[in-house]
Amino acid sequence: MSAIRSQNVDMTVGSPTGHLIRFAIPMLIGNLFQQLYNLVDSVIVGRYVGADALAAVGATGSVTFLFFALCNGIGSGGGIVASQYFGMGDDTNVRKTITNTAYIMLVMSVIVGGIAYLLSSPILRFLATPESILADALSYMRLQCLGLVFVALYNYAASMLRALGDSRTPLYFLIISCLINVVLDVFFVYNLSMGVFGAALATVISQFLSGAACLIFAFKTNEYFKLRRDDLKPDRNISVKAIKLGVPLSMQFALIAVSCMALQRVVNGYGEVAVAAFTATSRVEQVIHQPYQTLGASLSTFSGQNYGAKKNERVLTGFCKSLVMMVVFSLLMLPTMQYGGHAIVRIFVDDEAVIEMGAKALQLTSYFYVALGMIYVVRGVLNGVGDAVFALENGIAEVIGRFIFPVAFTMIPACGVWGIWWSVGATWTISGGTALIRYIRYGKRIGIRGSAVTSQHI
């Protein structure tokens, strides 16, 4: 093994389970800290400003996710390309992928951030955001849109490092950034009484520090980031590959975001209590998503490297091990939500009506965690081997679910407002089932039936 590769983690040899766990744990910690951006905003705003302010923050979540997704999907596509080249041992093209992905991410973040800022008001009004929270929601969203380039900066650096098997470096800087975010949140919101704008400002500053520090450190310490003049030249072939894989991922995330916006519109129609309860449960579920998301990302890197190395039996082994870990976690979380829902929602707000609604909602959705986990595990393995069709297919399934189910369930008299959360569980079930079907159809190509991959590597 060359010196340049010894600084990173080669997942094509050694225990698949060991690689998945060792890679996933630092990334899980990092993702949980990243979720603290939203959690801290919600807790501090809900506690120090009020339930309406918490609802204002929550009303923007699906919209900002839409614009973030358009950029981050490209970064994920570049990471897949880099991991496959790494598995092949093609160090030159790994460096070129790092460079070309950066060019694409920069252009995308500037364009999308500008468009998002201009469309903030019309979108929030289209979503029927209650007038009582509209001004705060608009203030929070616009500042988040201006900070989109900083979100892209961190996700780009993290995606490239993780593609090389390094999940620790992004973690270290994210933890520091998150601690800064907590301090700034308290200072801006509590001490300076800046409300939701202060919460958004704290998040943007923290994201900038996290991204810039992570990237600078990578350039100074990781040999793949020590680029030569030839590596800086735009490479059409690599850019096309990154875009080819990244655009379907962006579209998948964007479709999910659009479907979340449709769901948010239904929620907004039930008033501030429902919006605040939905915001609290969404924040909790974002945390629940993290182990699944981390496992999927770990499996994606593992699958990409082994697919590049033509070790397809290891891809199948990694998938099976990931399924077991996913089911175990889902079963552990079920009693937590059944018996701890009130205490969890009370962290965000002290309004008893919101707490009661949020706790019952968490109990309801916890029954569907296995379906949720299935989405991430299948997404990880298929993204890793470069199945671009799956991303779009799965995104469409989520859109259909979130457009149809919220309206259908809330129209049932026995469901009413609870149809909001029934629709969440139903959407996870449809998406998880669609993902599993796609995996079975793609089985021969990724070794699920013991046969070799027939598609060509990049």
pLDDT in tens, 351-408: 888 899 999 999 999 999 999 999 999 988 888 887 767 777 777 888 888 888 988 9
pLDDT of residue 425: 92
The token pair that represents 120 in the structure block: 């903030």
Which pLDDT score, from 0 to 100, does residue 6 have? 44
Q: What is the reported pLDDT for 421?
A: 92
In eight-state DSSP terms, residue 412 is S
CA 156 to chain centre: 13
Chain mean position to CA 226: 28
Q: Where are the alpha helices (DSSP H) in 147-235?
A: 148-163, 168-185, 195-221
pLDDT at 446 over 70: no
**Cα(159)–Cα(72) distance, integer angstroms:** 9
**In a domain? residue 458:** no
Cα–Cα distance measured from residue 245 to residue 232, given in angstroms and rounded to the nearest whole number: 21
Q: What is the pTM of this model?
A: 0.67
User: Measuring CA to CA, how many Å separate 364 from each of 288, 291, 337, 434?
Assistant: 14, 20, 9, 22
Residue 41 lies in a domain: yes
How far is Cα 331 from Cα 198, in angstroms, rounded to an integer?
A: 38
Average pLDDT of the segment spanning 257-286: 82
Per-residue pLDDT reduced to its tens digit, 68-115 = 777 777 788 888 888 888 888 888 999 999 999 999 989 988 998 899
* Least confident span in 52-61, 126-135, 175-184: 52-61
CA dihedral 270, 272, 278, 280 (to 10 degrees): -170
Asked whether the predicted pLDDT for residue 449 surpasses 60, the reply is no
Residue 6 in any domain: the answer is no
Please tell me the predicted confidence (pLDDT) of residue 450: 44
Tell which wins on pLDDT, 218 or 443. Answer: 218
Distance CA 440, CA 424 (A): 25
Mean local confidence (pLDDT), 11-24 = 86
Q: Is residue 453 part of a domain?
A: no
Single-letter amino acid, residue 267: V
More confident of the two residues 267 and 4: 267
Alpha-carbon distance 270 to 361, whole Å? 15
- State the distance between the two ends of the chain, measured CA to CA, in whole angstroms: 22
pLDDT of residue 454: 39
Would 451 be classed as within a structural domain? no
Integer Cα distance of 188 and 72 in angstroms: 28
Q: Say whether 74 sits in a helix, a strand or coil.
A: helix
| Residues 238-248: tens digit of each pLDDT | 999 888 888 87
Q: How many domains does the chain have?
A: 1
Nearby residues of 161 by Cβ (< 8 Å), 6 or more positions away: 167, 169, 170, 214, 218, 222
What is the 3-state secondary structure of 77-144?
Answer: HHHHHHHHHHHHCCHHHHHHHHHHHHHHHHHHHHHHHHHHHHHHHHHHHHCCCCHHHHHHHHHHHHHH
pLDDT confidence of residue 54? 73
121 is a domain residue: yes
Q: Indicate if the pLDDT at residue 177 is higher than 90.
A: no
User: In the predicted model, is pLDDT for residue 142 greater than 70?
Assistant: yes
Residue 36: pLDDT band (50, 70, 90) is low
Query: Per-residue pLDDT averaged across 208-218, rounded?
Result: 87
Q: What is the pLDDT of residues 214-226, one digit of tens each?
A: 889 888 888 888 8
**Percent of residues, the chain, with pLDDT higher than 70:** 93
- Please, what is the average pLDDT of the chain? 83
Q: What are phi and psi of 450, to 5 degrees?
A: 85, 10
Q: What is the mean pLDDT of residues 429-448?
A: 78
Query: Half-sphere exposure of 18 toward its Cβ, with a 13 Å CA cutoff?
Result: 7
Asked if 138 and 121 touch (Cβ cutoff 8 Å), the reply is yes
Contact indicator for 381, 300 with CB cutoff of 8 Å: yes
Closest CA to 177 of 210, 212, 147: 210
Residue 253 lies in a domain: yes
CA distance 108 to 68: 10
> Are 393 and 434 a contacting pair, CB within 8 Å?
yes
Range of the domain at 389: 12-446
| Residue 375 resides in a domain | yes
